[in-house]
Amino acid sequence: MAWNVRHTRPVVSARARPEKLPELLQRYVGNAEAALAEPFTGITTDGRPIRGLFPIAPTGVSTQPITDAAAAFAASLTPEQRAQASFALDDEAWRRWSNIHPYLMRHGVPLDALTPAQRDRALALLAACFSERGYATVRDVMKLNEFIGEVTGRWEEYGRWLYWLSLMGTPSSSAPWGWQIDGHHLIVNCVVVGDQLVMTPTFLGSEPVHADAGQHAGIRVFADEEAKGLALMRALSAEQQRKATLGAQLPVELFTAAFRDNFELSYEGVRWDELSGPQRDGLLDLLDVYVGRMRPGHAAVRMDEVRRHLTDTWFAWMGSTDDAGVFYYRIHSPVILVEFDHQRGIALDNDQPSRDHIHTVVRTPNGNDYGKDLLRQHYERDHARGPHA
């Protein structure tokens, strides 16, 4: 198809921050810095995180392959690159991610500055944390970021390797550490605490969501997220749909996108105990699309955690249920928050949301995004043991 490209917005580089940002981006950065100045609380319903949801406990699933992949990546870097990629585990860089393409506050080592061999080590780290399906989605998002470059010709804004990888702490079999990848439509935060793994916030999106020409022709992302969300909504009765629907208009952005680490979000929609057996199966199937992006063993651990709180799980909807309609949905419980949204055009010239631009985010509410609650308990335990423990 012929894509209608938006030509009216200013070009803002994805590689370096300009001396003066457009006014809209100045406000964006100002709001971001104000949010980052707030101490981390986490996504909650009322500003008070529920404690005791995320105990430190063995999973029986080794994280050694992840640690080995991270160590191999670090070893492949030059001393200068390693310094650029390395942050303390408690550095605020964790929260300075942004899903939009302009270079505003990127950090870490850029993949497009690495050699092919170094990039392979970086990708191996991602592959170690994701399922085969999840890793394929991540790589396709990156390829579609190159496809929109082909469509628009704006190579200063888009490209397959315009992503920044950071190591938080030192990859270790005994001490907590983590990593983050940050860039347009692809943000993953991964924390390793013993054999426990936290991979939120994870933000994945794309504009467009499919490539119909060029070297990446045939790639499509978020087909299951879209189709299974719609199928679940359609499986509800008329009364359930009425209760699930929060409005006809879609939000401009996901409620818990970048710089919304402390957002307060009430439970809304239809609750698990109001669903029939087949409807519950549909909700679990949809949850598995998101949770199943993780490496299989830890995905099973995470799904068990989600299942323990199904009675407090809610499904909410905005928008249309038509075949070509646009919509937003979320799944919200004490331990997981999933959001899906059709977006208006940024690179493409459409002022209303379309199915060509999708954003998704997965969060761990009640203070465990970035593994913060696990890390809090880890440090409290170690402190209680004393310096010679």
pLDDT one-digit tens code per residue, 151-182? 999 999 999 999 999 999 999 999 999 999 99
Residue at 277 is within a domain: yes
Q: What's residue 388's pLDDT? A: 34
- Same domain, yes or no, for 344 and 231? yes
- Domain assignment of residue 103, given as a range: 56-204
- Same domain, yes or no, for 267 and 320? yes
- Same domain, yes or no, for 190 and 244? no
- Same domain, yes or no, for 363 and 265? yes
Q: What's residue 386's pLDDT? A: 39
Task: Map residue 190 onto helix, strand or coil.
Answer: strand
Residue at 350 is within a domain: yes
Residue at 18 is within a domain: no
Residue at 317 is within a domain: yes
Residue at 41 is within a domain: no
Query: What is the enclosing helix (H) or strand (E) of 103?
Result: none
For 319, counting Cβ atoms within 10 Å of its Cβ (0-12 exposed, 13-18 middle, 19+ buried), the class is: buried
Residue at 44 is within a domain: no
Query: At which of 153, 177, 204 does a domain end?
Result: 204
Cβ contacts of residue 18 below 8 Å, gap of 6+? 12
CA distance linking residue 202 with residue 302, whole number of Å = 14
- Same domain, yes or no, for 63 and 183? yes
- Same domain, yes or no, for 200 and 227? no
What tokens were used for 281? 């199966």
Query: What is the enclosing helix (H) or strand (E) of 382?
Result: helix 372-385
- Same domain, yes or no, for 91 and 153? yes
Q: What's residue 105's pLDDT? A: 96
pLDDT per residue as tens digits for the range 186-243: 999 999 999 999 999 999 999 999 999 999 999 999 999 999 999 999 999 999 999 9
- Same domain, yes or no, for 366 and 329? yes
Percent helix, percent strand, percent coil in the chain, to nearest 5? 40, 20, 40
Nearest to 62 by CA among 173, 188, 190, 180: 173
Cβ contacts of residue 71 below 8 Å, gap of 6+? 171
Residue at 76 is within a domain: yes
Three-state SS annotation for 270-328: EEHHHCCHHHHHHHHHHHHHHHCCECHHHHHHHHHHHHCCHHHCEEEEEECCCCCCCEE
- Same domain, yes or no, for 173 and 230? no
- Same domain, yes or no, for 60 and 189? yes
- Split into its structural domains, the chain has a count of 2
pTM attached to this predicted model: 0.97
CA distance linking residue 149 with residue 134, whole number of Å = 23
- Same domain, yes or no, for 103 and 151? yes
- Same domain, yes or no, for 286 and 177? no
Low-confidence ranges of the chain (pLDDT < 50): 386-389
Query: What is the enclosing helix (H) or strand (E) of 113?
Result: none
Residue at 123 is within a domain: yes
CA distance linking residue 63 with residue 301, whole number of Å = 13
